[in-house]
């Protein structure tokens, strides 16, 4: 009976050994110690969102010099043609159309409505919650608001002083219009000014989103380095942050990023709307000189502030994206495990993560050739064999 039981026990062991034909291919803990953590896989929703953001970037971030040249040429050439050869009337030629009544006439409100939340959330993140630095960034919009208010009032004053009524007994613009008559003056186009100035402001303030998606990698790698006490990594821009600053950055980034993306998309659509309404203004309203002068003033104000004043080092206010650490134009190298450095990824490049529209697709893992997998299994079997003996 004892012999029979021993035979049965040996048979069960041999059966179990045959069932466990697949060797353990898990990487030992000591082999992964100190390596950077892998990013989370990208879902279909995230990929579609990245596609939308990519299209918005391509639409909004046209070379500003080219866009300014297009504005200047349109204000001169198309406006001159519209003065000589009036274009056919359309719905946009009516001053009571919906876009003109509810958007253009309160255009600066809509510009601030999408820009202020975007600026506050982005600056709160890359300034790590420091209120003085956030206020420095908000100062740009205060200056822009003062610029808009000053020039609009000046345009109205010039029209009142340099004009006359078609009935001589009325000497002021207010009394002339109240009497039901017409006031003829040098009517600088406030619409052309506000539409061009708003578009340029939207482009400049939206630049804070450049490199925004890469902050996630910076946070993940820095958090891992701090958890394991690795002081050898010095190329991460977040290395100089204190523990409190790093915690505020991580919390703000996770909290605000969905809203920042939404407002960036809204800024893109608003910029498109302003360009459409600018074309309507060029075709149907004001004279060429009135539109060209007001547009030139808008471009000049943008150039003085964003291209000269804010670009001076150590001068307030700063340009968008300048905070307590650098994240724009920071290129992170994706480390590949030693075992897979000679493998080919889905994108065809060796040792690299596949990308789509410039964004890494973390959900797609690198593929190993069949020969490499077999070689790895053989090596692990050779290592386990002496241990089993």
CA 118, chain centre distance (Å): 10
Q: CA 271 to CA 317: how far, in whole Å?
A: 24
- Tell me the longest C-alpha to C-alpha distance in the chain: 132
Mean pLDDT of 298-305: 97
Q: What would the pLDDT profile of 105-134 be if each residue is shown by its tens digit? A: 999 999 999 999 999 999 999 999 999 999
Is 137 a catalytic site residue? no
Q: CA 92 to CA 369: how far, in whole Å?
A: 61
Determine the pLDDT at residue 274: 97
CA neighbor of 253 nearest in space, from 215, 207, 206: 215
Q: Where does the pLDDT of residue 359 fall: very low under 50, low under 70, confident under 90, or very high at 90 and above?
A: low
Q: Which residue has the tokens 């004279």?
A: 287
Highest mean pLDDT among 32-46, 111-125, 152-166, 350-364 belongs to 111-125
Length of the chain (residues): 389
Q: CA 180 to CA 195: how far, in whole Å?
A: 29
User: Among residues 9, 164, 224, 286, which one is catalytic?
Assistant: 286
Is 286 a catalytic site residue? yes
What is the H or E stretch that residue 159 is in?
helix 131-161
Q: What would the pLDDT profile of 307-345 be if each residue is shown by its tens digit? A: 999 999 888 899 999 999 999 877 654 444 444 444 334
Q: Is 305:204 a contact under the CB 8 Å cutoff?
A: no
Q: What would the pLDDT profile of 228-287 be if each residue is shown by its tens digit? A: 877 665 688 998 899 999 999 999 999 999 999 999 999 999 999 999 999 999 999 999
Tell me the HSE value of 324 on the side-chain side, using a 13 A CA sphere: 22
Determine the pLDDT at residue 5: 47
Q: What would the pLDDT profile of 16-45 be if each residue is shown by its tens digit? A: 444 444 444 444 444 445 566 666 777 888
User: Among residues 124, 136, 164, 191, which one is catalytic?
Assistant: 191
Mean pLDDT of 346-372: 50
Q: Is 334:352 a contact under the CB 8 Å cutoff?
A: yes
Q: What would the pLDDT profile of 50-94 be if each residue is shown by its tens digit? A: 999 999 999 999 999 999 999 999 999 999 999 888 888 888 888
180: left (phi over 0), alpha (psi -120 to 50) or beta: left
Determine the pLDDT at residue 207: 96
Peptide bond into 317 cis (omega under 30): yes
Determine the pLDDT at residue 38: 67
Q: CA 371 to CA 382: how far, in whole Å?
A: 17
Q: Which residue has the tokens 């960034």?
A: 137
Residue 189 sits at φ, ψ, to 5 deg, of -75, 105
């Amino acid at each position: 009976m004892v012999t029979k039981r021993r035979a049965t026990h040996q048979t069960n062991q041999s059966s179990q050994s045959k069932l466990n034909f697949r060797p353990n291919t898990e990487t030992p803990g000591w082999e992964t110690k100190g390596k950077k953590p892998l990013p989370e896989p990208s879902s279909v929703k995230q990929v579609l969102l990245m596609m939308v953001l990519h299209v918005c970037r391509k639409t909004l971030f046209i070379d500003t010099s080219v866009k300014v040249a297009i504005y200047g040429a349109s204000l001169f050439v198309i406006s001159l043609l519209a003065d000589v050869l009036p274009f056919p009337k359309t719905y946009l030629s009516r001053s009571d159309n919906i876009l003109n009544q509810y958007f253009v006439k309160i255009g600066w409100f809509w510009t601030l409505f999408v820009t202020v939340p975007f600026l506050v959330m982005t600056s709160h993140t890359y300034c790590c919650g420091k209120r003085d630095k956030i206020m420095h960034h908000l100062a740009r919009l205060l200056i822009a608001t003062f610029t808009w208010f000053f020039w609009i009032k000046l345009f109205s004053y010039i029209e009142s002083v340099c004009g006359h009524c078609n009935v001589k007994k009325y000497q002021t613009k207010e009394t002339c219009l109240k009497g039901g008559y017409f006031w003829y003056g040098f009517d600088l186009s406030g619409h052309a000014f506000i539409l061009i100035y708003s578009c340029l402001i939207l482009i400049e303030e939206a630049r804070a989103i450049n490199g925004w998606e890469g902050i996630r990698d910076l946070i993940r790698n820095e958090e891992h380095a701090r958890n394991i006490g690795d002081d050898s990594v010095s190329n991460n821009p977040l290395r100089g942050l204190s523990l409190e600053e790093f915690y505020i950055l991580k919390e703000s980034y996770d909290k605000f990023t969905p809203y920042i993306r939404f407002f960036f998309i809204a800024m893109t659509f608003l910029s498109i709307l302003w360009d459409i309404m600018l074309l309507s203004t060029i075709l149907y309203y004001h004279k060429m000189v009135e539109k060209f002068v007001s547009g030139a003033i808008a471009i000049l104000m943008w150039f003085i502030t964003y291209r000269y004043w804010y670009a001076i080092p150590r001068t307030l206010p700063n340009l968008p994206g300048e905070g307590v650490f650098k994240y724009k134009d920071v290129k992170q190298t994706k480390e590949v495990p030693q075992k897979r450095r000679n493998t080919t990824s889905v994108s065809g490049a060796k040792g690299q993560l596949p990308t789509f529209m410039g964004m890494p697709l973390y959900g797609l893992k690198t593929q190993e050739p069949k020969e490499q997998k077999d070689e790895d299994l053989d090596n692990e079997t050779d290592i386990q064999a002496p241990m089993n003996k």
